[in-house]
Amino acid sequence: MSSTRARTALITGGSRGIGLAIARGLLREGVRVALVARGVEELATRKSELGGDTVVVAGDVTDAKEIDRVVAAVGAAFGGMPDILVNNAGIFIPKALDVLTSEEYERMITINLIAPFFLLRAILPTWKAQGNGQLITIGSVADRTIYPDNGGYSASKFGLRAMHEALRAETKGSGVRTTLVSPGAVDTPIWDTVVLPKENRFPTRDKMLTSDAVADAVVWAALRPANVNIDELRITAT
C-alpha cells in the first residue's frame, strides 16, 4: 500500500455506482469508510457486503441540519472527523433549458452543488485546525465543456469546479488537500432512470467508463503522500 496518512473516508452516494466502487477500492487499501445515502435498506445491504467495520449513515445531504447529524454520527464512529471526504452524490437530467422544469433545475443545483458545500462546511473547520484533511470532488467532463441538453447539469458541475478551485486557493499550505476527478460518461445505475433526448449524443453503456475505472483514480489520488496534492484528474474512455 502507498504511504498515506489518511485512514478514514466519508463517501456520499456511497451505496451504488461510483461511490460504492470507491468504497471498495479504499477498503482494499485499509482505509475505513463511511457510506452516506438515503436508502436505509440498501445501506444495510452494503454494510453486510463490505464488512462489519464499514460505517453506514442514512441521511439527506441536501438538508444542512441533516448534514450536521450525519457528520456527527460518522465522527463518533471514527473517533474523529474523517480524513477524506468524497463528494460523489449527484443527479443527471439531460434536457434543453426550455424543457427542463424549474423543479428539475433546482434539484440538480441542490444535490450537485449545494449539498457538497454543506458537507465541506461541516468538516473543513476541523481539518484547518488539525492541519490535514482531503476533499475529493467527483466532477464531470461537463464541468468545463458545454453540451446541448446539459444546461442545468453543466451549471452545477461548473460551479462545483469553481468551489474546488477556490478551496485549493484558500487552503494552499494549510495541509488540507483537494482533488477534482472529472470523468466522461460512466456506466452506473443512474442511466436506468435517465430519459435521453431524441438527439442522443451519449455512447452506449458498454462503451462508457466503468465505475471501477473512476474509483481507481480516486483511490490513487487519496493515497498520495501528505505533501502531494493531485489538483485535477480528467478521465475519458478510449
Using alpha carbons, list the distances in angstroms from residue 152 to 78, 107, 133, 196, 202. Answer: 36, 9, 30, 15, 17
Q: What is the pLDDT of residue 214?
A: 97
Contact 164, 117 (CB under 8 A): no
- C-alpha cell of 221? 489520488
Asked, for residue 57, whether it belongs to a domain, the answer is yes
Q: What is the CA radius of gyration of the chain?
A: 17
Contact 11, 136 (CB under 8 A): no
Strands 8-12 and 209-210: unpaired
Q: What is the pLDDT of residue 194?
A: 84
Count of domains observed in the chain: 1
DSSP 112: I
Which range marks the domain in which residue 80 is found? Answer: 8-235
Provide the phi-psi class of 185: left if phi over 0, else alpha when psi is between -120 and 50, else beta: beta
Query: Cα-flanking dihedrals φ and ψ of residue 32, to 5°?
Result: -75, 140
Asked, for residue 20, whether it belongs to a domain, the answer is yes
Q: What is the pLDDT of residue 201?
A: 85
Q: pLDDT > 90: what percent of the chain?
A: 88
Q: Is the pLDDT confidence value at 7 over 50? A: yes
Residue type, 58: A
Q: What is the pLDDT of residue 193?
A: 86
d(CA 88, CA 37): 10
Q: What is the pLDDT of residue 198?
A: 77
Contact 163, 143 (CB under 8 A): no
Helix axis angle, 40-50 to 17-28, nearest 10°: 30
Read off the CATH number of the domain in which 50 is found.
Answer: 3.40.50.720
Q: What is the pTM of this model?
A: 0.93
pLDDT, one tens digit per residue, over 67-108 is 999 999 999 999 999 999 999 999 999 999 999 999 999 999
Asked, for residue 230, whether it belongs to a domain, the answer is yes
Residue type, 87: N
Is 153 marked active-site? yes
Asked, for residue 1, whether it belongs to a domain, the answer is no
Asked, for residue 2, whether it belongs to a domain, the answer is no
Asked, for residue 192, whether it belongs to a domain, the answer is yes
Mean pLDDT over the full length of the chain: 94
Nearest CA to 10 out of 92, 153, 131, 124 is that of 124
Asked, for residue 3, whether it belongs to a domain, the answer is no
Q: What is the pLDDT of residue 229?
A: 95
Q: What is the pLDDT of residue 2?
A: 40
What are the beta bridge partners of residue 10? 34, 85
pLDDT, one tens digit per residue, over 143-190 is 999 999 999 999 999 999 999 999 999 999 999 999 999 999 999 988
Q: What is the pLDDT of residue 4?
A: 43
Catalytic residue, chosen from 153, 187, 219, 223, is: 153
- C-alpha cell of 64? 444542512
Q: pLDDT > 70: what percent of the chain?
A: 97
Contact 223, 4 (CB under 8 A): yes
